[in-house]
Amino acid sequence: MSGGVDSSVSAALLLEQSYSVIGVTMKTYEFDDVGGNIANETSCCGLGAVNDARAVAAELGIPHYVVDFRSAFERAVIKNFVDEYLEGRTPNPCINCNREIKWGELLRKADALGADFIATGHYARLHRDAASGRYILSRGRYAQKDQSYALWSLPQEALARTLFPLGGLSKPEVRERAARLGLRTAAKQESFEICFVPDNRYDRFLRERVAGLETRLAGGEVVLEGQVVGSHAGYPFYTIGQRRGIGAYGRRMYVTGIDRSLNRITIGADKDLYHSALRATRVNWSGLPPTKSAIRVEAKVRYKDDATAATVTPTDDHEVVVRFDKPKRAITPGQSVVWYSGDMLLGGGVIESTLD
């Protein structure tokens, strides 16, 4: 229970379905350790969120616990976030958090509490396929809030013990149910930034976490069409497709490449951001067993991306090449590529590089 309306209604729906429910709120970091919003703890880990979750649990008549996952979160999510930027990549911390914390650590806590399942407020659907015995993730019915993209890395063992009560509902329906139940979170607004970067300034976060980073890396080369045309603040402060902070060139320019070893960024026109293929590693086959054959899919390269026609060709059990029928814009190393068949999530992986 994050203290938001989605997890509040999830708990209420499970009670209606005669489950015995325990509310759990995860403490994953301290605000004075991450900065950016110390006096206004509005995210899912702030004191206000914990109090909202506790109050809703009391309204529903269920036990409520706050569990301390700070050490695991620092190791599995925050450290990885920083390390990836220092490698010249753009991480998606929600993927790691889901796999390692919201499912990994929380399932261990569920065992300690004697709970059979964990349930979350994610907008996704899950069913067990009778023929294969696999647990199949599908997009949530409410397309605007579908969160299946961020769940691609969950193993079958975790899915077997998961419930998604909101998978068939829309956000307005969830709010309406919360209001009908008189829950205090019914009108609570959502937070869209990375939870541990509450001001949405990842550059500020990196500067504060890595001593001397800007001093060490400022002045790197900006390269356009093979020529050095300027300098930048340091490669970790840029991501593929970025316009801000690269200088003015009389026309719109974007970051098209990052070279960590040389502390260099390459810029180009919008057309230079398009690529037809990518290589992905750390692959998890979700909706079907690992395959050695090429398969036709619809794939997306970021949460807000539209899934488009592509071919996924495995190179081994944990690596694939994804080739799109039409080039994709701003394919970014460190982000996730996720592939579907219709609404069914087939698998995903972490983008390593583009291919042409």
CB-CB contact of 264 with 276 (8 Å): no
- Which one of the listed residues 44, 45, 94, 195 is annotated catalytic? 195
CB-CB contact of 267 with 254 (8 Å): yes
Is the Cα dihedral 170, 147, 345, 242 positive or negative? Answer: positive
- Which one of the listed residues 44, 45, 94, 97 is annotated catalytic? 97
CB atoms within 10 A of CB 268: 15
Which residues have C-beta within 8 Å of that of residue 112, sequence separation ≥ 6? none
Strand, helix or coil for residue 126: strand
What is the rounded distance in angstroms from the CA atom of residue 112 to the CA atom of residue 241? 45
Can 94 be counted among the known catalytic residues?
no
Which residues have C-beta within 8 Å of that of residue 223, sequence separation ≥ 6? 229, 264, 265, 266, 267
CB-CB contact of 104 with 148 (8 Å): no
Q: For residue 23, which amino acid is it?
A: G
What is the rounded distance in angstroms from the CA atom of residue 150 to the CA atom of residue 302? 9
Can 195 be counted among the known catalytic residues?
yes
Residue 64's H or E segment, with its range, is strand 64-68
Residue whose entry in the numeric block shows the structure tokens 């004697």: 114
Give catalytic residues, as residue numbers: 97, 195
